[in-house]
Amino acid sequence: MTSVRVFFVGGLMSYRAMFGWLNPWILIPSLIVSPICQILLFAYIGRSAGVRDDEFYVIGNALNYAAIPCLFAMSSTIEGERQGHTLGIVLTTPARRIPLFLGRALPVIVNGWGVAVVGVVAGVLLLDAHIPGSAWPALLLVVLVTSASCTGLGLAMGAVVLRVREGATFGNVVFCVLLVFCGVNVALEDLPGWMAAVGTWLPLTHGIEAGRLLADGSTLGGVGGLVFREIGVGALYTAAGLALLGYFERDSRRRATLDRV
Amino acid sequence: MRQVLHQQAVCYWLQLRVLSTSPFEGFLAVLFPLMFATAALLVYSVNGDPVAMQYAGLGAAIMGMWTCQGVVASSLLTRERWAGTLELLVAAPTPLSRILVPITMAMSTIGLYCVVATMLWQSWVFDLRLEIESWPLFVLSVLMAAVTLAQVGFFLSVTAVRYRTSWALGAALEYPGWLLCGFLIPVDLLPVWIQPLSWAIPTTWAMDAIRSAADGGSPWGSLAVCAATGAVYAVLAAYLGKRLVDSARRNASLALT
């Protein structure tokens, strides 16, 4: 029961604290204006280059932006605890680590899903993109899976932030890697072979591909393989994240570096 | 006059050192636009049209200058507030604008690093060598972009003085700037109603001048308009800066606590 409370209540409180009590002055520019502008930017680049249609860029960039809250929220909760001098207190509690950290991931997944959906809807309304009504339920599910998978990577990043102090810089670097390697704006078959190979081991790649196929009329069954691969990649990063959290927590205690800013 | 120049030089040099050693404002300010430039060049390279690659390569080289200024300048005073030095700067006998201008010039200098880094990156990764007809005019146009962007940064920094989370505003300005200034997309391709906004930003004119210099045309007309629009931002910033800071002092709201 305590673990369930830690999972839900702890996660929600941590999420609200991260945004300075859900301040709209941060939320609107960061998670609504920016994703829409990124979608517009690449859709117009695509038009200018004569490569692909608007729908391609709407799906790719909306899902790519879901990675922003998923990556940053997980590392920011740990950095925020450190800056608030509460990280030591959190980690000396007897609370089990899996509900403690996965509880923090849950609102982040929902947030990432929301950001991506806002991006897709705005892209459809503002650009020449058409997604059939029948594709939406499956697309929303794929977005959820992709957000969860990115949060797995975010968890791994959060663990590294126990050691690396520049969480914001690190998060941006990882976001850039996803942008370039995951087929966000260039289909995997058009990327150099080694980049496409790296992309298949990153979250987002399979989710974006599945999303595009759904928007083109595929069924959920038709993209089942891609969805399972996305879940698999996410699970891999989540497991790595939990293992790294354990390792860096023990290491930080040994070196007394937990609160070093 | 000598004192003013000395203060400007010291402030510029100190801030340049601070920014250069900051992972977020130095390293990331170069890397982030470089990766977006890479993504854009990958899109353009799908068709492999050399003219389009030349177009995108020029814009990709310059777009980082916008990042260095827009994002960091918006949160410039917030950064001083967090460091506890904003009150000291405002209370100092040196006018605030004379402190802000060298800081935004230092940011523009980081933007120049970004131009060089992107040109080298394009050459190594995409085997894309930019064809520049007139290097002196090209360099002049890039420097004009840097100076006028510093003026835009000055404007952004003072107008965001009362915005507690101005870093979020600055981050949100990044993509609109890339979209509007004609770095990677011709302004003519944008909806007609938004084009006047593009031409109200000096960087759009600077980009136009840079393309003219590269193509062998005359950049002087665009450079003149760029300088004029930049001057408008500087005058507005000087006026607004004084009004907003006076108001913040009068209402004891400078700290925003």
- How confident is the model over B180-195, as pLDDT tens digits? 999 999 999 999 999 9
Domain count, chain B: 1
Q: Is residue B257 part of a domain?
A: no
- Domain presence at residue B86: yes
SS3 B74: helix
* Interface ipTM: 0.90
- Per DSSP, B188 falls in state G
Confidence (pLDDT) at A88? 78
Q: What is the mean pLDDT of residues B245-257?
A: 77
Judge whether B256 lies within some domain: no
Closest among A161, A124, A135 to A257, alpha carbons compared: A161
| Among chain A residues, CA nearest to B37 | A180
Residue bearing the bigger pLDDT, B148 or A5: B148
User: Per-residue pLDDT for B249 more than 90?
Assistant: no
Instruction: Work out the end-to-end distance of chain A between its first and last CA atoms, rounded to an integer number of angstroms.
Output: 34
Candidates A99, A90, A74; CA nearest to A6 is A99
Contact A49 B163 (CB under 8 A): no
Domain count, chain A: 1
Supply the range of the domain harboring residue B222.
Answer: 2-251
Exposed (0-12), middle (13-18) or buried (19+): which is B117, by Cβ within 10 Å? middle
Q: Which residue has the tokens 């190594």?
A: B124
A234: amino acid identity, one letter: G
C-alpha B181/C-alpha B60 separation (Å) is 12
Q: Which of A32, A48, A53, A115 is the mutation pick for testing B, counting most B CBs within 10 A?
A: A48
Q: Which residues of A touch B (CB under 8 A)?
A: 20, 23, 25-26, 29-30, 33-34, 37-38, 40-42, 44-51, 166, 168-169, 172-173, 176-177, 179-180, 184-186, 190-191
Tell me the range of A21-25, A90-94, B17-21, B226-230 where mean pLDDT is highest.
Answer: B226-230
Q: How far apart are CA B88 and CA B187, in angstroms?
A: 43
Q: Which of A18, A27, A28, A45 to mutate to test the interface with B (most CBs of B within 10 A)?
A: A45
Model pLDDT, residue B1: 83
Chain A residues within an 8 Å CB radius of B174: 34, 37
Per-residue pLDDT of chain A (261 residues; tens, 9 = 90+): 777 887 778 777 777 776 665 677 778 888 889 999 999 999 999 999 999 999 999 999 999 998 888 888 777 777 777 777 777 787 788 878 778 777 878 888 888 899 999 999 999 999 988 899 999 999 999 999 999 999 899 889 888 888 877 777 888 899 999 999 999 999 999 999 999 999 999 999 999 999 999 999 999 999 999 999 999 999 999 999 889 888 888 887 887 777 665
* Residue B66 three-state SS: helix
Query: What's the domain range around A252?
Result: 2-260
DSSP class of residue A163 equals: T
